[in-house]
Structure 1
Amino acid sequence: MSSAKGTGTFKFKAEIRQLLDILVHSLYASKEIFLRELVSNASDALDKLRIEQLRGAGAAEMPLEIRITTDKDAGVLTISDTGVGMTRDEIVQNIGTIAHSGTSEFVKRLAETKDSTQASSVIGQFGVGFYSVFMVADKVELTTRSHTGEEPAWTWTSDGQGSFTISPAENGPERGTSIRVTLRPEAKEYANPARIKEIIARHSNFLAWPILVDGERVNTVQAIWREPKFQVTAEQYAEFYKFLTYDSEEPLDTVHIAADAPIQWTALLFVPQKNRDLLMGSYQGQQGVDLYVRRVLIQHENKDVLPEYLGFMRGVVDSEDLPLNVARETLQENLLLRKISTSVVKQVLSHLKKLAESEPAKYATLWREHGKIFKLGYGDFANKESFAELLRFASTASDDPEALTSLAEYAGRMKEGQKEIYFISGQSREAALANPNLELLRRKGVEVLLLLDPIDEFVMETLHEFDSKLLVPAERADPAVLEALPDVAGPDGEEKQEELREDELLALPELISRMKAVLGERVTEVRESKRLKDSPVVLVAPDGQPSSGMQKIIRLMTKDESVPPRVLEINTHHPVIRNLLAVAARNAEDPFLALAAEQLYESAMIQDGYLADPHTLVRHMRELLGKASELYAK
């Protein structure tokens, strides 16, 4: 017997008692964590035994399992394992000294003998989780027998107040450890088998070893994320997804990825068929993924591994290398978690890119369901290129309202001589297509992306360019550049516009000046348009200011209901403007010009989505009808 010592009573040192008080009362956010810690320690012990057996160590033939028994009447909970057990010296060393980790020492010893890879499945680094049991215990009796068979069983007993005793056990296990917890009156719920099963399902469901509660195995679902992908069937993925999310539908897509260096991790992520948040009418924020360390749940719905724009995905991330603090609830080294996050995100985006290329119909379904959330990634500068490649938009290239296009597809269809990618915002596809800013682009056959979601403006503003091609609002398109492109109908097929007569040219400055005077500070400028063909006027943002779509978003965010001053461009070839030129040539102060200027401005405001009060517009329309009807009455 290597340590044949008898019964002994030991007092905790003053600083140890203080640390124990912190562990019990302050460290853990939820008291139920004690069970996770005890079950994890039991799993450690079984892992150690398996490694010792692989190393040739002999051990009694017993099933490798964790047994939990409850006694509701007595308020007693017992957690037993058939693992390596402990000698008396190991009890003193590993449990009698807080923050001394037997697991850590075990890993260190294996590393020294070149067996550290076998130790990678051992959970626990600090050896203090055991003491969390005193959050719920009046008394703890730990009885253990080492697998070496060199010593009898020993019992460690303490109430966590100031001392503990070690004595030979009268009826110890043949091998392994049994912890008998006498619960405090207010913690009797932990002697309820239903409560224990609930905790096991939440925190320890995927441990490799069987966990039996009153003889019934409770961890029946495998941690399939740790299995090679080629060994997992689609049915198993679907079953696991439904178990994890309680979703009745199968996942739209499954992402099973892993990395070994520089940090080891495995992830099993799913794309749901439907976005439940958006079905409810609003996005409540990402739910997060479950973070595991060697099959033990560390944090439910962790929001640090996946960024918000990938928050529509559900699943688990498990790491062998992630260091934890003593409570296992707060990550000790956020740097490592950030490295894991960086690696996971890159692989997820790579997977989605492959999906978009190989199964465009499935990716289109994914985009329609989750694209609104994905667009939140416009600020992920580290993955800017991958993010941009995965974006999808409606486009003037197709009359199909359901058709989507990528920036890469747009770039591949660009006309010869075209150097910019154009886009336009609208509350709907119809509204965007009716925007007068499209007229010149449409005449030149230039494709325009239709931005129908307010966040699209932020996306384009942040990306700024794609494949060295600037992303430009249609209202910012340079007419001089576009005029260099051929018309889609060809030089002979396009109806030529009649040039202004000399009297009209002379009246143009008078008309522009009169309209500016009437509209006042509502417009920064009135000028001749080079972009219009079918519409008489259009409003555009002044040079150097955000686009019209971006201005709307900014005002919405700041709750600014004022109308920003705009530039009013007039189409001098439109019949309405030419008629106004004729009026201005006769009398630049004619009241009809003021009435027409107001009406044209208000109609442009409607098209731009800014006109909040239609009453003035209606009044001006009636006045104009009155003037027009006079001509027919004569």
Structure 2
Amino acid sequence: MGKKTTHKFKAEVSQLLDILVHSLYTNKEIFLRELVSNASDALEKVRFMTTAEGGQDDTPLEIRIEADKDARTITITDTGVGMTRDELMKNIGTIAHSGTAELTRMAQEGKAPLDALIGRFGVGFYSVYMVADEVEVTTRSIEPDAAPVAWTSDGKNDYKLQDIDDATGENGGESMARGTRIVVRLKEDLASQFTNTAHLKSVIKKHSNFINFPILVDGERVNTVTALWREPKFQITGDQYAEFYKFLTYDSEDPLDTLHTSVDAPVQFNALMFTPKTGGDPFGMNRENRGLDLYVRRVLIEKQNKDLLPEYLGFIKGVVDTEDLPLNISRETLQDNLLIRKISSTLVKQVLDNLEKIAKDDADRYAEFWHAHGTLFKAGYMDFLNKDKFGRLVRFNSSASPSASSGATGLASFADYLSRAREGQKEIYYAYGPSREALGLSPHLEVFRKKGLEVLYLFEPIDEFVMDALRDFDGHALVAAEHADMATLDGFETLEQDEQAAPLNDEQKSTLDKLLSRIKDVLGEAVTEVKVSRRLSGSPVCLANPDGNVTSSMDKIMRVISKDTSIPKKVLEVNPDHALVRNMLTIFEKDALDPFIDQAANQLFESALLLEGYLTDPHALVGRVQDLLTKSSGWYVDSKK
């Protein structure tokens, strides 16, 4: 054995190590990730040197991990580049260099998250002291004639360096080969956990599964899955992508779509992203189960990182691997990291561009995507940086669609709508309702049916926010049907002619004004105004918001948010050509105080409330209907005699 020398740590090192061990890592298994990553870097250097020099080396490039329960040790051995005595002091001794005082001061003063500092100062190796009473590092450099050297420390006050006799090996046996061996003597309370082979394998699979060299735990290779995102796309088959997707997500089905990308600027990274066939969270109860796995040089940094893709793209599963981030970077630093923001910006653009391509090339496949993920995707109305792309990708049901089927024919884009628009049409009209059937009965849409104007159907509350955020598409304003300008609609030719009632003469018009005033007196403060409608043809009345800005459906949403259960005061619009209104006019002409006017006014108002979804107590309405049916049935019986 060679001469052993002892080197004192600086005075503050003990304090610093205490901070690192007890405050830096919340998950003690991270130490194994750090040691395996260091071993992988050493092996990568060997491969680079061998390739650059054109030489050959039969030594297998691998990492071996062995556990000894009786000795309470874990041994991590690699056949990498190794270190000379000077390199050992420089690399592992970094913590004793001048940066130590600054690191300690910054950690104590809380000026930066501790995880953010370890990458800067290179102290990731020392995470091993979370689990170790003592660590011994034995290494031999790839440099010619380099002798083996051993480094030993308990991580408290000092470390020992010892040269090893190259002729006999450290114990008089076979000479040590190139590489590094780290023997971790575990703390007693952690020995059973970290000498458990099954646990070690699970840790490797979690953090280091895609290291580019074999990792053997007690002789069995653990990392058997290829880092597919690092492979050239033209060499990968669809079956390989599907297999990797299932490994990553535990989904039994193949993915709906795969996006494999490699980016060199502004940040270098590789990404492999998948779109599942199903949403997997129909009730929105598992919103946190999203995000891409973030790797740095094949080493897992964070599972399901939430910052790489916005929430509305949370259906995307996959991995991102970059060379540009430090291996030891904290979650706090990731959130504020400029590189992460650049990667995110690029990923979002690529995902949206890919969806546009699918929509253009395969409408049925895009429809399948939309039915699986459209509800979540619509939350992208808040992504103002990608407003135009988002606007091209959203889909709705439509009055021009044959049904709300699951196929592409049940969906309409804004571009589809404009391709069917009437000549001179400058607006895109939409209406919210619980179903196609409900919207088919909506009084507000009668004029659109007469004019042959398409209306987009909104079935989900979020659709209102989408329209409000987008405002327009390709120079065409998005307008709620109930707020459409009647002067604009009058400019379009009427395609469906209803049976026309005889025009009112001047005397009847005057009487109608009095009837509307009488209806207002009957309804009192329940309505703000009663006026003649220009939009109705098949319905006798409808309700409209007095301000003309907020739609009925948005008003309901706001009331739910504010917990307002009152019935809003609206304008009652009356169709003067409807048979019921004409009958009311005749009755009013004979007797302005006829109780039927009161009964009909209340009935029409509550029926309108029912259609709008505001009627909370239907008892009066039901009683009134029964009374009217009783009276009318007598007339009907007499007419059959």
TM-score normalised to the size of structure 1?
0.91
Code of the residue aligned with 1:338 in structure 2: it is R
1:7 to 1, 4, 9: 4
Q: 1:195 to 1:353 in 2, by over 3 A?
A: same
- Is 1:331 the counterpart of 2:334? The answer is yes
Indicate the residue corresponding to 1:619 in structure 2.
623
Q: Pick closer, same or farther for the CA change 1:377–1:522 going to 2, 3 Å.
A: same
After superposition, the Cα gap between the structure-2 partners of 1:549 and 1:371, relative to the gap in structure 1 and judged at 3 Å, is: same
Provide the residue aligned with 1:602 in structure 2: 606
| C-alpha distance after superposition, 1:107-153 (max 9, x if no partner) | xxxxxxxxxxxxxxxx9764211100000111111111111033321
Give 3-state SS (helix, strand or coil) of 1:157's partner. strand
Deviation at 1:629, TM superposition (A): 5.0
Question: Offset of 1:155 from its aligned partner?
Answer: 1.0
Within the candidate set 424, 430, 435, 2:431 is matched to: 424
Whether contact under 8 Å (1:285, 1:308) holds in the other structure is no
- Conserved 8 A contact 1:415-1:446: yes
Q: CA deviation at 1:371?
A: 0.3
Equivalence for 1:142: 137
Aligned-partner residue type, residue 419 of structure 1:
K
Q: Structure 2: how far apart are the matches of 1:176 and 1:327?
A: 30
One-letter amino acid of the counterpart of residue 511, structure 1: L
Query: CA distance change for structure 1 residues 332 and 272 in 2, over 3 Å: closer, same or farther?
Result: closer
Provide the residue aligned with 1:117 in structure 2.
Answer: none
Tell me if the contact between 2:523 and 2:601 (Cα under 8 Å) persists in the aligned partners.
yes
Give the match's secondary structure for 1:94. Answer: helix
1:191-202 paired onto structure 2 within 5 Å: 191-202=195-206
Matched to 2:39, the amino acid is: A
Partner residue, 2:461: 454
Q: Which amino acid aligns with 1:15?
A: E
1:291-323 CA distances to partner (integer Å, 9 max, x unpaired)? 111111100010100100000111011112124
Corresponding residue of 1:115: none
Partner of 1:223: 227
Distance 1:9 1:632 in 2: 113
- C-alpha displacement of 1:13: 1.2
Q: Do structure 1's residue 295 and structure 2's residue 302 form an aligned pair?
A: no
Q: How does 1:401-440 map to 2 (within 5 A)?
A: 401-402=404-405, 403-440=410-447
Kept in 2: contact 1:78–1:179 (CA 8 A): yes
Give, in whole Å, the separation in 2 of the partners of 1:162 and 1:562.
73
Paired residue for 1:320, among 320, 323, 327?
Answer: 323
The alpha-carbon distance between structure 1 residues 562 and 327, as it changes in their structure 2 partners (threshold 3 A), is closer
Larger mean CA deviation between 66-75 and 243-252 belongs to: 66-75
Question: For residue 480 of structure 2, what is the amino acid of its counterpart?
Answer: P
Paired residues in the alignment total 607
Change (3 A) 1:524 1:545: farther
Displacement of 1:281 in angstroms is 6.7
Q: Deviation at 1:68? A: 0.6
CA RMSD between the two structures: 2.3
Greater CA drift, 164-173 or 225-234: 164-173
Instruction: Note the alpha carbon deviations across 1:333-357, whole angstroms, 9 max, x for none.
Output: 5121111101110011000000111
Residue 353 of structure 1 pairs with residue 353 of structure 2? no
Matches within 5 A, 1:25-424: 25-56=22-53, 61-98=58-95, 126-169=121-164, 170-171=170-171, 173-188=176-191, 189-278=193-282, 282=285, 284-285=287-288, 287-323=290-326, 325=328, 330-331=333-334, 334-402=337-405, 403-424=410-431
Moved more, 314-323 or 401-410: 314-323
SS at match of 1:73: coil
Change (3 A) 1:66 1:283: closer
Structure 2 vs 1, CA of residues 153 and 315 (structure 1 numbering), >3 Å: closer, same or farther? same
Q: Compute the displacement of 1:285 (Å).
A: 4.3
Quote the residue 1:120 is aligned against: none
CA shift, 1:542, in A, is 1.9
Amino acid across the alignment from 2:22: H
Determine the structure 1 residue equivalent to 2:102. none
How much has 1:589 moved relative to structure 2? 3.0
Which amino acid counterpart does residue 572 of structure 1 have in structure 2?
P
Mean Cα deviation higher: 228-237 or 52-61: 52-61
SS in 2 for 1:155: strand
Superposed displacement of residue 97, structure 1: 2.2
- 2: CA distance, partners of 1:99 / 1:8: 16
Q: Is contact 1:397–1:447 with CA below 8 Å preserved after alignment?
A: yes
* Distance of aligned partners of 1:159 and 1:326 in 2 relative to their CA distance in 1, 3 Å threshold: farther
Q: Structure 1 residues 65, 512: CA separation in 2 closer, same or farther (over 3 Å shift)?
A: same
Q: Give 1:206 deviation, angstroms.
A: 0.7
In 2, the alpha carbon distance for the partners of 1:474 and 1:132 equals: 64
Q: Which stretch of the first structure deviates more once superposed, 11-20 or 281-290?
A: 281-290
What is the DSSP-based 3-state SS (H/G/I as helix, E as strand, rest coil) of the residue aligned with 1:297? strand
1:326–1:440 CA distance, 2 compared to 1 (3 A): closer
Mapped to 2, the partners of 1:388 and 1:281 lie a distance apart of 23
Deviates more, 1:192-201 or 1:327-336: 327-336
Report the more deviating stretch, 360-369 or 164-173.
164-173
Secondary structure class of the residue paired with 1:331:
helix
5 Å matches for 1:469-618? 469-489=476-496, 495-618=499-622
Match of 2:450 in 1: 443
Shift of 1:327: 5.6
CA distance in structure 2 between the partners assigned to 1:407 and 1:633 by the alignment: 53
What TM-score does the superposition give when structure 2 sets the normalisation length?
0.90
Displacement of 1:60 after TM fit?
Answer: 6.0
Contact persistence 1:286–1:303 (CA under 8 A):
no
Q: Name the SS of the counterpart of 1:277 in structure 2.
A: coil
Residues 572-627 of structure 1: per-residue CA shift (max 9 Å, x gap): 10011111122222333332222111111111111112222211211222333355
The yes-or-no answer on 1:17 pairing with 2:24 is no
The 3 A distance-change label for structure 1 pair 381 and 430 is: same
Pick closer, same or farther for the CA change 1:608–1:163 going to 2, 3 Å: same
Whole-angstrom CA distance in 1 between matches of 2:500 and 2:548: 33
SS of equivalent residue, structure 2 residue 629: helix
* 8 A Cα contact 2:66 2:74, kept in partner: yes
Contact 1:100 1:127 in 2 (8 A): no
In 1, distance between residues paired with 2:226 and 2:98? 28
> Which stretch of the first structure deviates more once superposed, 55-64 or 254-263?
55-64
CA shift in 2, pair 1:497/1:559, >3 Å: same
Asked if the contact 1:507–1:582 (Cα under 8 Å) also holds between the matched residues in 2, the reply is no
Tell me the secondary structure at the aligned position of residue 432 of structure 1.
Answer: helix
CA distance in 1, matches of 2:326, 2:126: 19
Could you tell me whether the CA contact under 8 Å between 1:256 and 1:268 is conserved in 2?
yes
Contact kept in structure 2, 1:28 and 1:327, CA below 8 Å: no
Worse overlay, 208-217 or 558-567: 558-567
After TM superposition, give the deviation of residue 11 of structure 1 in Å. Answer: 1.9
User: Hey, what's the Cα distance between the residues in 2 that align with 1:512 and 1:632?
Assistant: 29
Q: State the shift of 1:56 in Å.
A: 2.2
